[in-house]
Each structure stands twice: as structure tokens, then as C-alpha cells.
Chains A and B, each alone.
Chain A
């Protein structure tokens, strides 16, 4: 066991907080990420991480909880993107890009002011790249109810959301209020991004948001299956990342541990590569099977 878990791993409160947060964030990111990927809003998701950065930097300046800053910034950004027109497919990239640019500029200002006005050190590093080992255990209750909020909201709007994600025209003809559903989704996306920002940093939260869902969607086109599969992949990546970061302290004589975010993101990318290779093989098999007059439904592909 010591080979995998270096001494003190399970008795360390810092590590325990990190593991719980890692689980919550992975599940939330998976659930919201599957819809984000299907809706083709990965770029919007990434822009929200930049807006969350501005919020986190603002929180650092105002010396309030970074979680409040990340989520507050993200929700404001979601509202701004909706106002400029993120819902229309045509204007989507422009709305996203404009908000992204404005937010990043604001982050630059806030992070500069932090160095001028406070004794806080390492804000830029913490906000952009995360520091799950430095999160206060008192953040956990907030993270827990925010996770519940996102999951419950997604569950309630799942039908109109799925329908509008696959075919907006069809959804509209069935009486789905596209804008309301879209805005609700964006706000939940902002909350999810804020949560994962405190674990792997605002910039890297895209990785957890897009990576595991993209891998999961290689194997299942069913929303519920993909969400469960993405949750498992995400949790594996974060937990393994935390273990490796903890162990990395013992890898060198100088006892300088490597950052968690690096490991988590590497694992997410590795999963995606493996998923692609496996899916490729599977597709070959499917093609092979159809040649023998089997329908895609029979192979379970659709």
C-alpha cells in the first residue's frame, strides 16, 4: 500500500478536503459537461472560466471567499453572454469572445491591484491554476449545496434541455422556451466552472468540463449513461491526480511536491486519448458488423 499511498495520506485533513472536493467537482463537471459538449458550447464554457478568473481576482482584492468570486463572476458573465446573444448559433463565438476579452482585461487589473493593496501572495497562481490543497475545510458545505443545486436544476430541466441541445427547432415546436432553458443552463455552467476553479484553477476548469464528457460520449450517446461514465472518469482523474501530487513530495530529495492541477489535467488528456483509440476500434467493429447486415441498433451503438 505504501507504494501507492505515501505515509499520512489518509490522516491528512488537507488531503481529505481535497478528495471530497474532487469528487463533487468531477460529478458536477461531468453532468454539465455532457450537455456542454452536445450543445457545442465548449468555447462558451471556456469563456466562463475566464470570467470566473476575473471574479476570483476580484474576490482576492476584496478579501472574500474565492468561491463566491468565481461563481459571482461566472454568473455575471453568463448573463452578459446571454444579453449579447450567445443563444444564436451565428453570433455565439462573437458574444463569447467579447466577454472573454473583457473579463481577461479585468483580471489583469484586479491581479495587479492585489499586489499593490494586499499582502496576499501567489494570487495569480492560485486563481489560474488552482490549489486544492489550500482550500479551507469550511468551504465544503458551500460546495456541497452548490453541487446539489446544479444537479437538481439539471434534473428538473433535463427533458427540454436534451431536446433543445439536439434539435432546437423541434424543441421550439414542442413549446420549449429555448432562451429560458439556455440561460438556466449557462448559469448552472457558471456555478460548475466556479466550483472546479477552486480545485484545478479557473483556466484549467475547462479540462474537467470538456475532457471526461468528451471521452464518455465516445462510448454512449445516452445522456444518463454518458453523465455517469464521465463522473467516474473525472473522479478517477482528480483522485489519482491528488494521490500523485501528494506522492510527488517523496520523489525528489528536495521535497518539493508537484502541482495537483498538472496531474489532473494530464490524466484527463490521457483518458481522452485512450477513449479515442478504443472508440476507433469499436467503430471498425461496428462497420464490420454492419457489413454482415447487422443494424447499428443491434450493436448498441445508437
Chain B
């Protein structure tokens, strides 16, 4: 009462407050619209005969669908090539997908820890959860979580997926097995590409922003000159030390590396200015990704495209700024 009296005594102020209230209301309305847009559920009516599966990262989702074919409907949680999966926050639609999934493939090593929370929020005894970390027998202290860049990872994951799909849907076990065989054959082709790359270019020095492709670089026999603390700082979204930044700059200005593998999904002012410096120093830049770039790739063609881009950079000094 007293408040309204006070306000009433100053009509000018009241007008201002009304205007302010309008502004606030518009802001609230605008932000709720934004939220509904963001949270729009991923469409997909699941037929009862089809196994509903979820891949926490779209490269795993892709492998599930390569094996499951028409008997599986797969959703990928993280698939936007323009965002950083390290900072991903799960929405309610993700929780719904997980609740209805019969098979889940997730990376582990803290990369997609939200999956565990969402799974325990909707417990199910019939759901199968494949953790790539435990498939590979890795500890929680594994420093580099980007396991799908390891050439030995996907054959193991694919076999485990086939096994789970066949036990969920035994009638189509032969179908899954046949598709697994053809996937394993094409993964062998990838291995052959890696070996031939290694035989001619092992020991070539490269720089990185982030450990995303480090396992692949190791398999290719390349020497990553970037200090690991720098890579870990960029991955974790904290500032790299000035010492590491100037070392990285030195790698480019003194032409100590042949390629700069730039993580296109984890950028910061530091990585952006390093990319510019690499360009002006004529060090070719190759974009590497956290999740599989869509829609032209499957897991194998993506890896081959990265290998070819790195090869092109070494042989012909060409940059590949996006796949």
C-alpha cells in the first residue's frame, strides 16, 4: 500500500517503470522463444520392430547404423560440427532419447559424463550401454579422451555393437553379422592407408591446438611438437600459459612444423590468432574435428579425408580449412 502510494506520487517515475517492465517482459518472451527453439525435440517415430539406439557422438551413431541398417533407428547426441562437445549441455530431448533407447554407445573418459547421469535417471534392465573406454580397458585418468581417432578402436566397438544388436534382435543376427564383416573390411582399408602414409612420412613434425587427433597423428608416425599442457588447456577451456603460446608461435615463424592440425570445433582467441599466424607463416592448416562432419561422411571416409588432407599439406603445402 505504502509502496504504491509512493510510486503514485511520482507519475513520471511510474511511466519509466512501466516502460522498463515492458522491456523486461519482451526480453523474457524472447528468451523463452529461444529456449523452445533450442529444445525442439528431434523427430523420429520409433516402430516397435526397430531397435532404438543412441550414439553419444555421431561417429559412434554412424557405426551403429552401418551395422544395424534398416532394423535400427539411431540418434546422435552430439553432431553439430560448429560447436564444442567439451562444453555440451544435455537438453530434455536428449534425456527422452536415452530413456527410450535399447542400445547406447558412449565414449567415456569424462567426455560425455552427462550420459551416465541421464542413464541413471531412467534406469532400464533391458538397455545395453557400451562404453568405449571400458571396451578399450582404459582408466579414468586417460589424458586424451578422443578415442575414436585410435585406429584400433572402431573394430572393437563395431564387434561389440554387432553382439548387442544380435542379442536384442536374434532374428536378424545374420544380417548384422554380414554388415559387420563389410564394415571390418573397409576399416582394414583404413589401416592400409595409415600404414602406407607412415612408411613414407614418418617423423614429419606437426603442431596442434588440442589433442583431438593425437591418436591418429601417432598412428601416422607424425611428431606432435605442441606441448601437451597447451593442448590440454585449450581442450579444458582454460588459458594456455604465455610460455606455451610463444613456443607455439615460434614453431610457425621458424617453420619448425610442416602442418598445423587445427581443431575446428574448439576455438578461442588464442587458437584463432595461432591459425592466422600459421597462415601468414605459410604453414598449411588442416581442420580436424571432434565429431564426424555431416552429411557427406561416414566414419571411415572421414578418417581417410583427414589423412589425405594431412598428406596434401605435407606434399603440396595446401591447407584444408574445412572438410
Contact = CB atoms under 8 A, between A and B. Distances in A.
* A-B complex is real: yes
A255 B84 contact: no
A118 B20 contact: no
A109 B30 CA distance: 11
Contact of B264 (A117, A119, A125): A119
Contacts of A80: 20
A14 B269 CA distance: 12
Interface residues of A, number: 43
Contacts of A173: none
Given A12-B242, A119-B83, A136-B269, A109 B31 contact: yes
A49 B224 CA distance: 41
Contacts of A109: 31, 34
Interface string B79-97: 0101110111100000000
A72 to B, nearest CB: 16
A249 B229 CA distance: 10
A84 interface: yes
B230 to A, nearest CB: 9
B229 A255 contact: yes
Contacts of A121: 84, 86-87, 234-235, 237, 266-268
B2 interface: no
A257 B38 contact: no
B241 A257 contact: yes
B237 A133 contact: no
B84 A115 contact: yes
B89 A112 contact: yes
B253 to A, nearest CB: 11
Interface in B18-76: 20, 24, 27, 31, 34, 38
B1 interface: no
A15 to B, nearest CB: 5
A85 B13 contact: yes
Contact of B82 (A106, A118, A136): A118
A142 to B, nearest CB: 15
A113 B86 contact: no
Contact of A255 (B20, B236, B241): B241
B265 interface: yes
A83 B20 CA distance: 8
A254 B229 contact: yes
A120 B273 CA distance: 13
A13 interface: yes
Nearest to B13: A85
A43 B38 CA distance: 35
A165 interface: no
B17 interface: yes
Contacts of B88: 115
A134 interface: yes
B245 interface: yes
B16 interface: yes
Contacts of B311: none
Given A125-B238, A133-B245, 8 more contacts: A84-B17, A106-B27, A121-B235, A122-B237, A122-B268, A249-B244, A256-B241, A259-B239
28 contacts: A6-B243, A13-B246, A83-B16, A83-B20, A85-B13, A102-B24, A114-B87, A115-B89, A117-B82, A119-B266, A120-B268, A121-B87, A121-B234, A121-B235, A121-B237, A121-B267, A122-B236, A122-B237, A125-B238, A125-B239, A126-B239, A126-B268, A133-B245, A135-B269, A136-B269, A255-B227, A255-B229, A255-B241
Interface of A: 6, 8, 12-15, 18, 80, 83-85, 102, 106, 109, 112-126, 131, 133-136, 245-246, 248-249, 254-257, 259
